[in-house]
Amino acid sequence: MAGRAARRLHPARQGTHPGMTMQSYWMESAPGVPYPVLDRDLQVDVAVVGGGIAGLSTAWELARAGRSVAVLEAGRIAAGVTGNTTAKLSALHTLIYADLASSAGPEAAALYARSQREAIAHLIATATELGVDCDIERVPSLTYVESADGVGKLKAEAEAAEQAGLPASFVTESSLPFPIAGAVRVEDQAQFHPRAYLLALAEAMTGIGALVFEGTRVVGLKEGTPCRLTTSEGLTVTATDVVVATHYPIFDRSLLFTRMEPHRELVVAAAIPAGQDPGGMFITTEQSTRSVRTAPYEDGQRLLIVTGESFLPGSGNVGDRLERLRSWTIERFPGARPTHWWAAQDNDTTDGVPFVGPLHPGAKHAYVATGFGGWGMSNGVMSGLLLSTLITGGSSPWAGLYDPRRLRPVREAGPALKMQATVARHFVGDRLSTAGTGAQDAIDLLPGEGTVVKKGGKRCAVYRDETGTLHAVSAICTHMGCVVGFNEAERSWECPCHGSRFGVDGVVLQGPAVAPLEKVDLASGDDDTSG
């Protein structure tokens, strides 16, 4: 079957914990084949910036509709956020329906539920049509609490979800190996191997004429008739329509950054006997989030995938968080043998609903898909269906629900003020902080450690590699100028304002930043040790 041929296991790369591979299982088990780097100017009907599930789903739908399409991915397709997901295909998105029905009305909640259910059904139908072996399994989805204090919210959510059209109910028992106080249960949801599916989708779309480019970073957009994209290598892609599907928009002309907040979560995967599979997808907002599902694994075992320890990028103590998640996994699932760990990132919107539609109020040919709030699998497919419909001149009953131009002041005011207060605290506070500003802090670094110091009055991000060599780059994020922090577990520099991530050499790992951190020569000039 299509997709299965590209899947194989690679030797483990040891991560923070011995015996655990510091890599997403999806990336390890489906390495795929490379796509070319763009090496010429190009003209197409639609240019899709970003090769995750939203971008590839959009490109697939447009290619099937007869449009000439090019996907432009800065790294590798299905390898960023999508390659590090937990891959739940569920319309039960923790606790959204009671909130949405209250703030936007029961009709909005019903449209949200319908759009998610249709997205799930469409992915399964597409995989079946293409003959993709991507381990699709139909299982129930549950949002649970262990504390009796949360039962009231779950009962309200179960009622709202049922009224929205989901097969939802409130239950007090589950197949988890520990007691719960209550849960919302929705039947007939799904889980799958996201990368196996998307690699096959990319192969299928190139088979009908679509173009896919990897290692091609887009840095400029000039809207018009037509639109023009510019790459970091100075090449131009001309297109009638442009879709920005870069997770966090690299072009934010409607100031969506004021209405979104990034969060990062860790993932621990562990082998368990097939007989210990709880047979469902589970999530709780307690204990800094805990999400559980399983996947087929080698030797007849199941791979338990546990996500949690939600944190703001660049906020530190990631190693401690990873240890807490690993310990929780072993404690709650006795006999589990941790095999992998990785991390995922997403963006929450101020009203809890993704932004999918025109890029800004005046946009005529530029579109965006972002703000999936940790539910990128169903929302990515939903985005592909919605954007392809809009671009081809059709209409959708939920276009208004997801429209980025919407304003819901009553619902959004509080979260927006909180988000911007966090940004302001880091933008101003991190610059005024005197912690870790002495040159001696860089000298004292152990291999694998990083810190921010001052040199010549400027903040520098300094990292010592395993050979003892120091690497220094500017500590000022190239997106909007916030000070980055060091993630010691993943060994990366992260911006706490909008979630941009950089390698220790300054290269962009994740947007919205498109320019690397500037390299700094520690050997030249005078150090400022005053802080």
CA distance 259 to 77: 27
Low-confidence ranges of the chain (pLDDT < 70): 1-18, 408-441, 524-531
Identify whether the C-beta of residue 496 lies closer than 8 Å to the C-beta of residue 312: yes
The C-alpha atoms of residue 370 and residue 372 are separated, in whole angstroms, by 6
Within the chain, how many helices (H) and strands (E) appear? 12, 24
Q: DSSP label at 221?
A: E
- Count of CB atoms situated within 10 Å of the CB of 177: 11
Q: Which domains occur in the chain, in start order?
A: 1-30+263-345 (3.30.70), 38-87+193-250+347-406 (3.50.50.60), 407-531 (2.102.10.10)
Question: What pLDDT, on a 0 to 100 scale, did the predictor assign at position 2?
Answer: 42
Reported pTM: 0.89
The answer to whether the beta carbons of residues 523 and 462 sit under 8 Å apart is no
Nearest-angstrom CA–CA distance, 92 and 377: 12
Peptide bond into 140 cis (omega under 30): no
pLDDT value of position 480:
84
pLDDT of 95: 95
Both tokens of 527, joined, read 């150090």
Residue with tokens 């090019």: 70
Distance between CA atoms of residues 86 and 194, nearest Å: 9
| Bridge partners, residue 287, by sequence | none
Q: Which two tokens stand for residue 190?
A: 């799904």
Please give the pLDDT value at position 252: 76
DSSP letters for 324-385: HHHHHHHHHSTT-EEEEEEEEEEEEETTSS-EEEESSTT-SSEEEEE--TT-HHHHHHHHHH
What is the pLDDT at residue 19?
A: 77
Phi-psi region of 349 (alpha: psi -120 to 50; beta: other; left: phi over 0): beta
Q: 188: Cβ–Cβ under 8 A, 6 or more apart, which residues?
A: 138, 140, 167
Query: What per-residue confidence (pLDDT) applies to 332?
Result: 97
